[in-house]
Amino acid sequence: MIFQPALGAGGLSGWRVLERTGASQQQTFEKSPVLQRNINYFRENISKITSAEDLVKDYRLLTVALGAFGLGDEINKRALVQKMLEGGTEKSDSLANRFNDNRYKALVKAFGFGNITNGSSVLLSSFKEDIITRYKSLEFERAVGETDNDMRIAMNFKRQIGAIAESQSSERTLWFQVMGQLPLRELISTALNIPSGVAQLNIDRQAEIFSDRAQQLLGNSSPEVFSDPEVVDNMIRRFFLFRQVESGPSVTTPGFAALSLLQSNGFGAAANINLILSQL
């Protein structure tokens, strides 16, 4: 069975369709034979793993492990994954703690191979099902992304941003975490209308720009503002609306008739953006 997500016309309207029907679509997706085979293999064999090296040597187990944390694309970076896992998360200078990408830290903490206090989690009764639940959810996101990557970016943002927003790190560190995860960075920079060229600047200057733009548009300079579900929803709407501006308005774009009139009279992208954002 090849899963084909129902996303309507795409864009913001497609996102609303996915919000309404995502749970039932995921249930359909989970019937995929390939997904079920991977899950069954993981359930039957993960408890036999005694080290990070054992895990990275088993491609199918590693597929589920990485997929559960949105790291499926890292499957060929086995040496890095092993080093991450062996370093644990208990030491502040461990590789996972020094990475801006919190997905690795979550993976390493969940498996616990490099931690002394509690050690490996693979024999815990709840461990298998927790990882499998995450795997099914993240693989659904990936499958949606194969049809429309912007949808995957939005799903990832909605799932990930809360953990960053609610962590007890400094504002600067939080922006580093956001910028270190490309899907998060892409959604936020698009929604805040931050030019792509900003990525070429010094990392501290980049954080300042993100902070200043958030203050201007959201009334708060810190990623902590993303702990508010209304702000998260607004950011996703802005993301899709700016994407529509980039690709040109369609009949599903808010204010389409007025946009067509503006374009016929020679008004540029700025007028389009202002009119679309007035629909928020």
Condensed to tens digits (0 to 9), the pLDDT of residues 23-51 reads 999 999 999 999 999 999 999 999 999 99
- Predicted confidence at residue 276, as pLDDT, reads 54
Contact 154, 123 (CB under 8 A): no
Share of the chain above pLDDT 90, in %: 73
* pLDDT value, residue 195: 95
The CA distances from residue 26 to 94, 126, 230, in Å, are 36, 22, 24
Over residues 102-126, the mean pLDDT reads 87
- The predicted-structure confidence for 48-80, as pLDDT tens digits, reads as follows 999 999 999 999 999 999 999 999 999 999 999
Sequence-ordered list of residues with C-beta below 8 angstroms from that of 240, at least 6 positions apart, any chain: 11, 12, 15, 150, 154
pTM for the predicted model, two decimal places: 0.82
Residue 8 banded pLDDT, cuts 50, 70, 90: confident
Residue 118 reports pLDDT greater than 80: no
Q: Does the structure show a pLDDT above 70 at 125? A: yes
pLDDT of 215-243, one tens digit each?
Answer: 999 999 999 999 999 999 999 999 999 99
Distance of CA 224 to the CA centre of its chain: 17
**Cβ pair 214, 250 in contact under 8 A:** no
* pLDDT over 80 (residue 270): no
Residue 274 confidence (pLDDT) above 90: no
Q: CA 34 to CA 49: how far, in whole Å?
A: 22
Ranking 9-13, 155-159, 173-177, 270-274 by mean pLDDT, the lowest is 270-274
**Residue-level pLDDT at 151:** 97
Nearest-Å Rg of the Cα atoms of the chain is: 21
CATH of domain 11-142: 1.10.3700.10
User: What pLDDT was estimated at residue 145?
Assistant: 94
CA distance 38 to 66: 12
**CA pair distance 47, 29, nearest whole angstrom:** 26
Q: State the pLDDT at residue 262.
A: 45
Domain residue ranges in the chain: 11-142, 149-247
